[in-house]
Amino acid sequence: MDFIIDTVGDEDLQVKSELLSEAEKSYFVDAEDRNRAILDLFDKKKQELDQKVEEEEEIQKKLKNIKIDSMFDDFFEEIGWTRSHVMKKISKPPLFHFEQLDIESGKLKSKLGTVDVEKEMKKSVLKPGLEKEHSLPAYYVSQKKLKAIRRREREKTKGPKWFNLPAPEVTEELKNDLQVLKMRSALDPKHFYKKNDMEVLPKYFQVGRIMDSALDHVNERLTKKQRKRTMVDELLADAEFQKYNKKKYKEIIDDKRKSEYRTFMRDKRQKNKAALKNNKLKAKKSKN
């Protein structure tokens, strides 16, 4: 690729063959010399290791040619040893392979630097804040304890068939909301709900939030003041529900008063009958 350089105003550029002088490009020269020195050092080390390997191979060849004394041969035959037990070669794997080195860049070809440390540390036993713990968890866990731990973990969710529905902590507010949902058939007399077959509150459930639709007008949405934290608060703030609640409460009180009045009158009549019967018995006894 050819470059066009504007030399107007600088007469020295017309006679220059390079844009940078020797003093200006010293950094790049030092970097190249350093890489070359590193490669030369590796070559020198490789030659030394190759020479050591050749010397060891020559020593092993010489040892193979040495004959063991006949006395030792008889001793080995009595014990049942062979020559391989004595002249056993121990092969040590090389600590460094020069095939892993990239000659051009002077770096290793292996992926030692690309290890995801955070991912590997998640599997580690050493967690953050370990120094604050008073006791460390046991290394060996019995099968009985493992089963109990797995059972507790399974009880935290409903299972994969129910999309791992969680079992959250039931607070007082959540308990009130669940009781309202259980008695929802009494909230609206015009709406029919299927009978609830659960006698106790559910253990596995999840609380959601209704989001406003983008198609709704601004005036149709609830304001922050109208929004409530729980279902019970919303019901208490609903005027129609309060009106219906007062009506039902009045009906219940009236029915209770009527039933109490009927019970009172029945008890009164029974007492009068018992008193009249006692008076008749007394009258008969006095005549006799």
One-character DSSP codes across 3-66: -----TT-THHHH-SSSS-TTTTHHHHHHHHHHHHHHHHHHHHHHHHHHHHHHHHHHHHHHHHP
DSSP 103: T
Tell me, yes or no, whether 71 and 87 share the same domain: yes
Residue 147 is predicted with a pLDDT of 93
151 domain-assigned: yes
- Where does the pLDDT of residue 98 fall: very low under 50, low under 70, confident under 90, or very high at 90 and above? low
233 domain-assigned: no
Percent of the chain with pLDDT over 70: 70
232 domain-assigned: no
121 domain-assigned: no
CB 173 within 8 A of CB 229: yes
258 domain-assigned: yes
Residue 1 is predicted with a pLDDT of 47
Closest by Cα among 34, 35, 3 to 18: 3
pLDDT tens sequence across 116-156:
777 877 777 777 777 787 777 777 888 999 999 999 999 99
Tell me, yes or no, whether 48 and 67 share the same domain: yes
Handedness of CA 41, 47, 51, 53 (dihedral sign): positive
Q: Which domain holds residue 71?
A: 27-110
- Where does the pLDDT of residue 90 fall: very low under 50, low under 70, confident under 90, or very high at 90 and above? low
Residue 109 is predicted with a pLDDT of 63
Higher-confidence residue: 196 or 160?
A: 160
6 domain-assigned: no
The total number of structural domains that make up the chain:
4
DSSP 166: B
18 domain-assigned: no
pLDDT tens sequence across 146-177:
999 999 999 999 999 999 999 999 999 999 98
- Averaged confidence pLDDT in the chain: 76
Tell me, yes or no, whether 163 and 175 share the same domain: no
Tell me, yes or no, whether 253 and 269 share the same domain: yes
